Amino acid sequence: MKRKSGFTLIELMIVVAVIGILAAIAYPSYMESVRRSNRAEAKVELMDISQRLQRCYSSYARFNDAANCPVYADLVDGGIETRGAGYYRITIAPLAGGTAETSFELLATAIKAPQTKDLTDGCNEMKLRHTGVQLPEPCW
């Protein structure tokens, strides 16, 4: 009698099951890591826009000067899509209790996957205020 070598169907199914379990554990962790790294796009744009608005305030004593501050005009005209992969759209609003001349809050809202599913701590909407407050804190 000659003995045949190879894998049995049971052995093959055990390998497939182990690979499936590993993939089920690894994929969500991988996607969370991807979303966390993509937040950098929003952070960079929020900081850049904030600095440009601060320059407008230094020059014209107001944040909402659409005639002399093109970044403000872009923000109120539908918002600015982030450079790079374009995962976020940034808009501006005055702070509650403040005026558009003396305060602002920039809001980066996720518009493209996988960032739209970045619901951990509400990180699909990141905010930056004129005072430097960054919300939600765990996202920064």
Judge whether 22 lies within some domain.
Answer: no
Distances (CA, A) of 108 to 21, 27, 134: 36, 26, 11
Q: Looking at the domain assignment, is residue 93 inside a domain?
A: yes
pLDDT at 120: 86
Amino acid 7: pLDDT: 82
Q: Which two tokens stand for residue 81?
A: 């899509």
Range of the domain at 65: 39-139
Q: Could you tell me if residue 118 is inside a domain?
A: yes
Whether 1 is covered by a domain: the verdict is: no
Decide if 57 is inside a domain: yes
| Residue-level pLDDT at 95 | 85
Q: Is residue 8 part of a domain?
A: no
C-alpha triplet 78, 40, 76: angle, nearest 5°: 15
Q: In terms of C-beta density within 10 A (0-12 exposed, 13-18 middle, 19 or more buried), how is residue 26 classed?
A: exposed
Residue 33 within a domain: no
Residue 48 domain flag: yes
pLDDT by 10s per residue, the chain, length 140: 777 778 889 999 999 999 999 999 999 999 999 999 999 999 999 999 999 999 999 999 999 999 999 999 999 999 999 999 999 999 998 888 888 899 999 999 999 999 999 998 999 999 999 999 999 999 99
Q: What's the number of domains the chain is made of?
A: 1
Looking up tokens 């182990």 gives 18
